[in-house]
Structure 1
Amino acid sequence: MHDSIKAVNGDIKLIWPGEEEWIEYFDDNREDVANHIDFTAIHPYILWRKYPETSPFYDGFYKIQKEMLKKRNIPTEIWVTETGWTTYLPDSIRRHFPPVTEYQQAQYLVRNYLVQLYFGAGKMFWYELVEEPFGVHHPESGFGILRYNTMLTVKPAAVAFANMVNNYRYLKPVGKYLAKDRKTYGFIYENEKESGAPVLSIWREADEKEELIPVKYTKSLTGVDIFGRTIEIPIIDGMAHLPLSMSVLTVSGFDMDDLKNLYEPKEQY
């Protein structure tokens, strides 16, 4: 299969499932197969745990998987080729996927992209672009971020996706924010388009809470929500007051000296 595909177009990539049991497949005297894999792919659905940060793909998964791949001389790039949350309307039947609201779908989309790309995904593909026409109570109908109609009208997740691309296009992740509360999550980035200016992404798992960050050198802060709306972050008596919710807040304006002790540097593997 590999040789036939490459004969048509050498740039076509061959994907292999990247879960543990599929990687261990190469241990059974199939070393020659590994030489034909360009990268592996995973489908990190959350199912009944719901939140992106409660998935095993948060933090340790990628490091372990890449170590397994490297040990077997397989390329270590991992793509997320299917992931998502569905907004179908619940009925009396217990389904495989729990439904979420359209607003929650938008929140989880951004959080999931930031988490997966930070910890090791090379590329990500949301499942799926347009809703399926199976009826409002069918789980497959609600994964799309565009509605199934003649105008392909957008759901909130589509707006959030567009703003995420705009806000994070030039950001390089440098560390994980060291939150005092285990239900607060965040990452520190450097804006490569603005001489490495620091940017903080920060959010709560499932509630709202104000995050206080001591600042000595920072003069002003601006926050952007997942729909592109901006707010001025108040700085009072040397403390920045960040209003956190389940939606990612992207904050710029920090002096890096105020953040240098507030994050764990990104591990390279």
Structure 2
Amino acid sequence: MRKVSIVGLAAAVLTGVVFAASTLMSDSGSAGAVAKGADAGQGQFPYSVKLTMTGIPRTDGTTYDSSCSAGLVNPRYIVTAGHCFHDAARNPVSGPPQYKSTKATIGVVDLTTGGGTTVDVVDVQQSPKNDIAVAKLSRPVTASKYLHIGQAKPTVGQQLVIAGWGDTDANGTASPKLQWGKFQVSAVQSTELNAHGVWPEADTSACPHDSGAPYFSLPETGDATLVAVEHDGPDCPHTTDETIERVDVAADWINKQIAK
């Protein structure tokens, strides 16, 4: 859901107060992928999560469907964007999702082939520092690898990988395949990063419904480290910066949530 994603506003939770940041999403519930990205191979990103929400309420009593992306950090918890979970007034909220259904699909890279595991999201906690949420699954999910929670402050020039289920352009063009690409950090803010696409194209970028998609570092050996999650950016594809939420500033809080 980014840009035209699950919330009508990209909201940031800052010291417990929610500030509306920018319009993020439409009422479209289409699933798709990172613009100008590459197809992910089976098992390449076992911690990638597709969130599907149905029956999202509006203040006029109507509902709509949408989706987000997320990262699996242990068998029972995922990390995503806080604005993916909101009330009818589009304010990010903690507690059980206020939607008819919220499901997490894990372990699949092509939705047309089936497979993977789909479970309900039963609880959400909003970060007190930025637009990050920790969501609890209804039951544990086994994966070959999980994302480690990044503790180190990111640096300008650092390269990160994104894997997301967003659309492939700003018009809502959907793809059933998980997409990925490489980004480079261009600026480090107090709770956010600016980053732009560098591979496979200069205009590789996040799109609607990529909200919450994990940005992570890939070491030579061992598991990937979650560095940030997708927040917002210009219409995709584009060559300018995305705004992404730093994980390190909320790392202690995240670890407390997933240890419960």
Larger fraction in strand: 2
Larger fraction in helix: 1
TM-score by length of 1: 0.26
> Which has the larger Rg?
1
Answer 1 or 2: higher relative contact order, Cα 8 Å, separation at least 6: 2
TM-score by length of 2: 0.27
